[in-house]
Amino acid sequence: MNEIAIKKDGEIIDTQTAKELGFEGEQIHLDNSPESLEVLRHSTAHLMAQAIKSLYPDAEFYVGPVVKEGFYYDFKTSAEVGEGDLKKIEKQMLSFAKKKYPIEKYEITMDEAKEKFKDDHLKLEVMKRIPSETVSIYKQGEFEDLCRGPHLPNIGLIRYFKLTKISGAYLGGDSKNEMLTRIYGIAFADKESLKAHMTQLAEAEKRDHRKLGNEMKLFTFREEVGAGFPIWLPAGGRLRARLESLLFKAHRKRGYEPVRGPEMLRSDLWKTSGHYQNYGENMYFTHIDELEFGVKPMNCVGHIKVYEDELHSYRDLPIKYFEYGVVHRHELTGALHGLFRVREFTQDDAHIFCRADQIEEQIIEVVDFVDKIMSTFEFDYKMMISTKPEKAVGDDAVWEVSTQALKNAMDKNELVYEIDEGGGAFYGPKIDIKITDAIGREWQCGTIQLDFNLPERFKLEYNGEENEKIQPVMIHRAILGSFERFIGILTEHYAGEFPMFIAPTQVAIVPVAETHKEYAKLLSDKLIDINADSEIYAKNDSLNKRIRTAEKTRVPMIVVIGDEEIKNKTVAIRDRRTREQYNLSEEEFLKLIQTKINEVNF
């Protein structure tokens, strides 16, 4: 097998460059190693550009990098390119690949490059961002592209690829700029890997919470109701209620007090908080008589009003209020996405009012709380500290102090995090908890936000040791983030196979014949007494059919009851999670269910 590049000092250098500079190093062969795929996919992006250029001669090209899930190329043409054109482009790519053009490299000066690509305003745009004096050009057949490589020695090596998505993308990732066309693709060294990859994508799609939510009747959306407004169906309602009650206990244990603010508040308050100015475009407003009201997009103002209801002593801090707060946000239509992004959702929101010297311990307590829940569900998550955004309230100095406080808390406890510059809330920096969905997209769930600004704007205070007035610090936090998004993620995580303690229905009861229905009902009542939901499958269908129907709901446990069971006071269990069948006495069975439901506490 021929080498396609070499690795020198951790860098991938293609054969063209290595030859030119006389470099030697560890050989990289065409296989599915990360290094090889990097080169292969980059060259596949170029091959795609070559095909696009031949099909759409006026096409101009921006950049075509390798990304986590393959590669893409951004370009612009006067023609309308749609999904249907991907096949055509793939075909053209294959026909070029068959010609086995070598990929040649040469260097020219920046001025020469500008002259060469003078008709391609996108390439000129790319060059503006390159500081060096000279640039390299890669040539394959008639097609030439400005690129720093690395590339394969020959396009004939590209055989197993697929163009996967087409979409628009803003030039330079800035919505103020023009929109280009982006085509995504994937490439592998062999046919099997490509096939395996496509199969894996199809498998992931089966876990999509939108599909499962529909199948399992958890929730729905209706055109006539409006985009982004989920409707919770009974099964989803039960699942959600279980989460809510578990979480309620967890909050009480940690000293949180349940409170509730109104759904909408006078606009003057939103002006005081800064939401009106900084978040107004995401809010819904209405009028009552002459006064303007804003429907709450966050719960903090309500909780501030709770805090203001009485005077506080330094001895009482921290004070923690929590609420399953329903919020409304005007998300852009294109952003809506199943339960992951909706316009009305419920946060498991809380606000901690504390002294400056309590910040760190409070942050860490919340981080532990988050970890407790995430590990219960066996989620891999990552944390990210988001700093001051473009639109923000408060002095830079205050932002600096609070951002540093978050970092300190994390560092002191040796917690790993990444930085998201400019990703903070308008009133303070935050630690975001991100979870990955079935197809690898990351979603922010929990969040911990440190806020010196709202206490200042609302002139909050508590009495210190010397009876002086001191301003408290506010920590905004949500663990799940929102029930909507979290349940969406949970659904994909378990592929609908929810564990007993959270499942919409704990047990499906299948009576063998009509005469066993009564006993089934008795059992069902006993289950309710131990806080377990059950469903009786007594329809006029065959036993097999009813077991099949029950199985398809993904219920964790099915019990079959017939003469045998009634006589012996037992149940025949079919455990969907362990795929086992066994018998238990009724008493043992109820105890087992009770244990399984109670084994989880946050």
Site for RNA in 311-330 (CB under 7 A): 329
Whether 430 is a known active-site residue: answer yes
Identity of the residue, 212 or 317, whose beta carbon is nearer to RNA in the bound complex: 212
Instruction: Copy the structure tokens of residue 152.
Output: 């394969």
Judge whether 149 and 136 are in contact, CB under 8 Å: yes
Residue burial 165-194, b: 16+ Cβ < 10 Å; e: rest: ebeebebbeeeeeeebbbbbbbbbbeeebb
Whether 329 is a known active-site residue: answer yes
Q: How far is the CB of 412 from RNA (least distance, A)?
A: 24
- At position 153, the amino acid (one-letter code) is P
Task: Please give the radius of gyration of the chain, using alpha carbons only, rounded to the nearest integer.
Answer: 30
Site for RNA in 59-118 (CB under 7 A): 80-84
Is position 513 an interface residue for RNA (rule: CB under 7 A)? yes
Identity of the residue, 23 or 443, whose beta carbon is nearer to RNA in the bound complex: 443
Q: What CA–CA distance (Å, rounded) separates 228 from 540?
A: 39
Residue from 581, 595, 598, 601 in contact with RNA (CB under 7 A): 581
- Tokens 């009552």 belong to residue: 288
Judge whether 152 and 39 are in contact, CB under 8 Å: yes
Whether 476 is a known active-site residue: answer yes
Displacement of CA 160 from its chain's centroid (Å): 30
Here's the x/- map for RNA, 442-481, by CB under 7 A: it reads as -xxxxx------------------------------x--x
Site for RNA in 122-161 (CB under 7 A): none
Strand partners, 386: 420, 430
CA distances from 274 to 60, 222, 301, 478, 555 (A): 44, 34, 10, 21, 47
Identity of the residue, 150 or 446, whose beta carbon is nearer to RNA in the bound complex: 446
Residue from 68, 333, 396, 465 in contact with RNA (CB under 7 A): 333
Site for RNA in 168-207 (CB under 7 A): 168-170, 173-175, 179, 181-182, 184
Q: How far is the CB of 89 from RNA (least distance, A)?
A: 13
Site for RNA in 525-554 (CB under 7 A): 539-545, 547-549, 551-552
Site for RNA in 361-400 (CB under 7 A): 389
Here's the x/- map for RNA, 482-511, by CB under 7 A: it reads as x-xx--------------------------
Alpha-carbon torsion, ordered 582, 583, 588, 589, to 10 deg: 70
The three-point CA angle 256-420-278 to 5° equals 70
Q: Which residue stretch of 139-147, 518-526, 564-572, 589-597 sits at the interface with RNA (rule: CB under 7 A)?
A: 564-572
Here's the x/- map for RNA, 394-433, by CB under 7 A: it reads as -----------------------------x-x----x-x-
Q: How far is the CB of 445 from RNA (least distance, A)?
A: 5
Considering the candidates 296, 328, 329, 493, report the single residue annotated as catalytic.
329
Residue from 558, 590, 593, 597 in contact with RNA (CB under 7 A): 558
Residue from 70, 338, 496, 504 in contact with RNA (CB under 7 A): 338
Q: How far is the CB of 404 from RNA (least distance, A)?
A: 20
Judge whether 444 and 425 are in contact, CB under 8 Å: no
Q: How far is the CB of 590 from RNA (least distance, A)?
A: 17
Contacts of 31 (CB under 8 A, 6+ apart): 189
Site for RNA in 6-45 (CB under 7 A): none
Q: How far is the CB of 579 from RNA (least distance, A)?
A: 8
Q: What CA–CA distance (Å, rounded) separates 163 from 87?
A: 8
Identity of the residue, 44 or 181, whose beta carbon is nearer to RNA in the bound complex: 181
- At position 235, the amino acid (one-letter code) is A
Can you list the alpha helix ranges (DSSP code H) found in 99-144?
Answer: 110-116, 121-128
Sign of CA dihedral 151, 155, 159, 164: positive
Q: How far is the CB of 246 from RNA (least distance, A)?
A: 19
Considering the candidates 123, 151, 207, 430, report the single residue annotated as catalytic.
430
User: What's the 3-state SS for 361-386?
Assistant: HHHHHHHHHHHHHHHHCCCCEEEEEE
Considering the candidates 349, 432, 437, 533, report the single residue annotated as catalytic.
349
**Pick from 366, 44, 73, 312: which is nearest to 187 by CA?**
44
CA distances from 101 to 43, 153, 159, 367, 424 (A): 12, 9, 13, 55, 49
Q: How far is the CB of 55 from RNA (least distance, A)?
A: 15
Give how many residues touch RNA by CB under 7 A.
Answer: 85
Q: Which residue stretch of 57-65, 144-152, 247-255, 439-447 sits at the interface with RNA (rule: CB under 7 A)?
A: 439-447
Identity of the residue, 377 or 443, whose beta carbon is nearer to RNA in the bound complex: 443
- Tokens 């609420």 belong to residue: 323
Other C-beta atoms within 10 Å of 270: how many?
26
Site for RNA in 213-272 (CB under 7 A): 214, 221, 223, 226-228
Q: How far is the CB of 469 from RNA (least distance, A)?
A: 31
Identity of the residue, 378 or 390, whose beta carbon is nearer to RNA in the bound complex: 390
Considering the candidates 123, 343, 476, 554, report the single residue annotated as catalytic.
476
For the chain, the maximum distance between any two Cα atoms, rounded to a whole number of angstroms, is 93
Q: Any idea which residues carry the catalytic annotation?
A: 300, 329, 347, 349, 351, 430, 476
